[in-house]
Amino acid sequence: MLATLRRVFELHGFGEIETRAVEPLERLGGASEASKEVYVLTRRGGETADAEFGLHFDLTVPFARYVEERQGKLTFPFRRYQIQKVWRGERPQEGRFREFYQADIDVVARDVLPAHLEAEVAVVMARALEALPVPAATMRMNDRKLVEGFYRGVGIADVAGALRSVDKLGKIGPEGVAKELAAQGVGEQAADAILELAKIQSADGSFKEAVIDLWETTPTVEDEDAQRLLGEGIASLVALVESVNAAVPGTAMADLSIARGLDYYTGAVYETTLEGHEDLGSICSGGRYDSLVAGGGFPGVGMSIGVSRLVSRLVSQEIVTATRSVPSAVLVAVIDEDTRAASDGIATRLRARGIPCEVAPAASKFGKQIQYADRRGIPFVWFPAAEGDGEVKDIRSGEQVPADADGWNPPVDDLTVRIERR
């Protein structure tokens, strides 16, 4: 699955980078939950007081350092992908791990980030998910400008605080969110309005009318900026949903409940669920940000797949299966130890043409050698002969044919191990 992600990302011009697993502790700060769960490193026998480094808890912190340190050398917009493990000191439970893989893509500009890149990252991720053996994905999208304009327009001062509450909608329901908003001093009418806003969804640009209707029937404060932000956000989200669906039909949906807890998003925000696995939560999320590095500049947009969470579900619910347990497509049998070199020679010629194979470990009876292949799911056994290259047997069908090690090929589906949906 990682190889599939790499292939799709690279087809779209994203280059792989890899960063060290550790960062200076002061970089692993911030307000997020993850930053409280950092694992700190000490040398065996050393004191905690010496600790200066911790394991990274996401791939954004190291990417920010990467761009900051290489800003004079990189060419922008810079497309990168990064597939690495991250570590969080959480309580382990189903779908939550202390060590897990993330697969991130980001496009970062130096000064101005063109709007069409918001659609591009979503399209790349949609195609990556299409290429994986997973159920159909729905990408739910919102726009922070739209939300901020609306929230400010209905008189909410602490937009970030209100967003963090709305982000819990799935967990605590509308009553829970309303209670939290009231505690933040948000008036009842405003709270009702933003909960109404969160109900709006559409698979195309038609959400626009519903937002405008709601806006026009809700008492608003005098705030030109809010009005402008709302208008810009609506236009961005319409363009985003429509471009993504034009490229990958049936993928994108405007969903105005999508909040994403993190403060740094400033435009598109994304969450992705798999059909029949909505309980798993979002398996691919992200958004647009104004500034990747602390000093400002470097606006970008990125998304991240929670690979381990996804794979864990696929395996635990037996949604996928591997076609065999080893890479070998062929077991080359050995007649006796004196002719092992001949079997090795056949294997070398098959490998030269890209056919993975192994040579039997012992010159046991052919029945035992076939059993060796069968236990590993190796589909073909090659029997060398004193003259010519011998014969190859498909041990599933029993069919056995004379073959030439420089010409014979297994069916394409048997060449390499594949991960298939059951």
Find the part of the chain contacting a second copy (CB under 8 A) among 9-17, 159-167, 201-209, 219-227. Answer: 9-17
36: contact with a second copy by CB under 8 A: yes
Rounded Cα–Cα distance for residues 123 and 242 (Å):
11
CB of 66 to a second copy, least distance (A): 14
Total residues contacting a second copy by CB under 8 A comes to 63
The answer to the question of residue 369 lying near a second copy (CB under 8 A) is: no
Strands 99-108 and 78-87: antiparallel
Determine which residue in the list 158, 192, 290, 344 makes contact with a second copy, applying CB under 8 A: 344
Torsion sign, CA atoms 201, 205, 210, 215: positive
Tell the smallest beta-carbon distance from residue 339 to a second copy (Å).
12
Nearer of residues 19 and 220 to a second copy, judged by Cβ = 19
Q: Where are the beta strands (DSSP E) in 281-333?
A: 284-289, 300-306, 320-322, 330-332
H helices present in 110-257, as ranges: 116-131, 144-153, 159-166, 169-183, 188-197, 207-216, 224-247
Stretch that binds a second copy, among 260-268, 359-367, 385-393, 395-403 (CB under 8 A): 359-367
* 192 makes contact with a second copy (CB under 8 A): no
Contacts of 49 (CB under 8 A, 6+ apart): none
Q: Distance of alpha carbon 388 from its chain centroid, rounded?
A: 50
Q: Cβ distance 42 to 72 under 8 Å? A: no
**Which residue number, 47 or 279, has a Cβ lying nearer to a second copy?**
47
Within 225-244, the residues that bind a second copy by CB under 8 A are 243
Q: Residue 355 interacts with a second copy (CB under 8 A)?
A: yes
Which amino acid belongs to residue 299? P
- Shortest reach from residue 375's CB to a second copy, in Å: 5
DSSP helix/strand/coil, 205: coil
- Toward a second copy, which CB reaches closer, 209 or 420? 420
Q: Quick one: which of 271, 253, 279, 34 has its CA closest to 171?
A: 279
Which of 108, 132, 177, 357: binder of a second copy (CB under 8 A)? 357
Binding mask 96-125 for a second copy (x = CB under 8 A): ---x---------x----x-xx--x-----
Please select the residue that binds a second copy; options are 96, 164, 349, 376, rule is CB under 8 A.
376
When binding is defined by CB under 8 A, the residue of 251, 304, 328, 369 that contacts a second copy is 328
Identified binder of a second copy from the candidate list 32, 341, 404, 420, rule CB under 8 A: 341
Give me the 275-314 binding string for a second copy, x by CB under 8 A, dash otherwise.
----------------------------------------
37 binds a second copy (CB under 8 A): yes
Closest contact distance (angstroms) between CB of 96 and a second copy is: 15
Burial 241-258 (b: 16+ CB within 10 A, else e): bebbbebbeebbbbbbbb
Read off the amino acid at residue 215. Answer: W
According to CB under 8 A, which residues from 65 to 94 bind a second copy? Answer: 75, 77, 79, 85, 87, 89
Q: Note the residue count of the chain.
A: 422
Binding status of residue 173 toward a second copy by CB under 8 A: no
370 sits in which H/E element:
helix 366-376
Q: 233 Cβ partners below 8 Å, 6+ apart?
A: 143, 144, 145, 146, 147, 148, 149
Q: Does 34 bind a second copy (CB under 8 A)?
A: no
Query: Binding of a second copy at residue 338 (CB under 8 A)?
Result: no
Residue 387 gets the label, from left (phi > 0), alpha (psi -120 to 50) or beta, of beta
The answer to whether 322 and 342 have CB atoms below 8 angstroms apart is no
Q: Taking CB under 8 A as the criterion, which residues in 45-64 touch a second copy?
A: 45-48, 51, 54-55
For 310, the enclosing helix (H) or strand (E) is helix 307-316
Point out which residues bind a second copy (CB under 8 A). Answer: 10-15, 20-22, 25, 36-48, 51, 54-55, 75, 77, 79, 85, 87, 89, 99, 109, 114, 116-117, 120, 243, 246-247, 325-328, 337, 340-341, 344, 348, 351, 354-359, 361-362, 372, 375-376, 416
